[in-house]
Amino acid sequence: MNSTCEPSRGGDGRDAKAGKDTVRRHNLSLVLRAVYEEGEATRAAVAARVGLTRAAVSSLVEQLLAGGFLSERGKTFSGQAGRPGTALRVADTGPAGLGVEVNVDYVSVCVVDLAGTDRVRLTEHRDNRGVPPKEVLARAARMARRALEEAAGRGLRAVGARLALPGLVSGGSVRQAPNLGWDRVGAEELFAAGLGVLAVGVDNEANAAALAELWFGEAGRASGARSFVYLTGEIGVGGALVVDGSLLRGAHGFAGEIGHLVVDADGPRCRCGSRGCLERYAGQAALLRGAGIEESAGAAGVAELAARARRGEPRAVEALERAGRMLGLAVSGAVNLLDPDAVVLGGVFRPLMEWLGPAAERELAERVVSGLWAAGSGRLRASSSSGDAARGAAAVVVRGVLADPAGHAAPPLG
């Protein structure tokens, strides 16, 4: 038999091909991410950045252009002698990510392109409490399909979807979402059934929002805070931990539940089963109630609260200061435990920062052992407006494309 004559050579040949494929896939990602991070770059600049030859980069760029991952943009002069280079950017058509946030009183859906830019956004305010999870997720899937159609009209093709929910998420299921009243709900399956063929992942809503902050917000990108605690004020209070630029998910995926730090051991019962949790004092429901505004007023109620505080209405100001103290108390615990660069407040805390912030900072100044959190340290910050859970969830999908464009090409690259 011929095949027995060269058994190991044949094997080696396959291995060598597999090795070359791996290197090529890796280098495609290297080049694509270099362009993404530069925003706009010539082939020469990419070559200098990634440490490959100009010829190798040109070949990889051709494949990425053909696959629709990159686009070219006019001629750019390098400012140095020699022929002008063409500027490359990541494509604003082609592969995209779908992100869906299902929260207690709204659902928000977005499609982001490879650059992470929000290109289609649909939001519906509606109380999801008391509605069967299946119905909530089916409605979210209908919204998602509308968003995908609109995105398709702009030349965007979603390669995956990610769902963000305010609860403990594990392996595609919601173990518990106290404020939605959900208990062991197979969210991935229910949502995917309504959506169709697209691959779906599920994450905690605060985790997704924290990733948006890390990738697009000031806390991450601009000011260089690579370790931060993220709190998001919703009906409850969500939380997430970013350590050295990555989410700290915990042993079972349940880390970050800062909303359930206890600020008063004998306080009122929380939906989670404990007592005196932070969210009983600083969640949207508690804030509105404390200020004498109807809890069900939702986003309009938050705007009303801010307006009353701006007019100096004592009840509104007091409710916000009390919540700020409780926030400061819980956050000081998180800071003493984790020693982050910053703490970022998102969701409804953002428009209320003017009143919550100073009260929280007083607690931090008194209670953080290191003394690094004195008032005026600037370590307690409002989130940037660019970061929300739907965008973060969608960005997880496109990050997957940046990490392996060859795995997301249609038709295959090369």
**Contacting residues toward a copy of itself, per CB under 8 A:** 168, 175-176, 178, 226-227, 239, 241, 243, 248-258, 260-265, 272-275, 329, 332-334, 336-341, 366-367, 369-372
Q: How far is the CB of 174 from a copy of itself (least distance, A)?
A: 12
Q: Between 80 and 370, whose beta carbon lies closer to a copy of itself? A: 370
Residue 312's alpha-carbon distances to 8, 38, 184, 319, 355, in angstroms, are 82, 46, 44, 12, 11
Minimum distance between the CB of residue 281 and a copy of itself, rounded to whole angstroms? 11
Nearest to 160, CA basis, from 173, 144, 146, 171: 144
How far, in Å, CA of 117 to CA of 242, rounded?
22
Contacts of 273 (CB under 8 A, 6+ apart): none
Nearer to a copy of itself, 261 or 406 (CB): 261
Which parts of 217-352 fold into alpha helices (H)? 279-282, 284-290, 298-310, 314-338
Concatenating the DSSP letter of every residue in 196-250 gives -SS-EEEEEHHHHHHHHHHHHSIIIIIT---SEEEEEESSSEEEEEEETTEE---
Minimum gap (Å) between residue 203 Cβ and a copy of itself: 14
Closest approach, Cβ 271 to a copy of itself, in A, equals: 10
Q: Is the peptide bond before 132 cis (omega within 30 degrees of 0)?
A: no
* Shortest CB 228 distance to a copy of itself, Å: 9
Closer by beta carbon to a copy of itself, 158 or else 211: 211
Q: Which of 273/378 has CB closer to a copy of itself?
A: 273
The answer to whether 263 and 329 are in contact (CB under 8 A) is yes
Pick between residue 93 and residue 336 the one whose CB is nearest to a copy of itself: 336
Q: At its nearest, how many Å lie between a copy of itself and the CB of residue 202? A: 16
Q: Minimum CB separation from a copy of itself for residue 226, in Å?
A: 8
Nearer to a copy of itself, 91 or 206 (CB): 206
Smallest gap from Cβ 318 to a copy of itself, in A, equals: 17
Q: Is 388 helix (H, G, I), strand (E, B) or coil?
A: coil
Closest CA to 246 of 232, 231, 227, 230: 227
Distance CA 67, CA 94 (A): 8
Residue closer to a copy of itself, measured from CB, 42 or 332: 332
- If the CB atoms of residues 58 and 227 are measured against a copy of itself, the closer one turns out to be 227
Closest CA to 287 of 306, 268, 263: 306
Nearer to a copy of itself, 187 or 302 (CB): 187
CA distance 50 to 104: 44
d(CA 147, CA 120) in angstroms, rounded, equals 6
Q: Which two tokens stand for residue 391?
A: 């965008």
Shortest Cβ distance from residue 412 to a copy of itself (Å)? 33
Q: Is 274 helix (H, G, I), strand (E, B) or coil?
A: coil
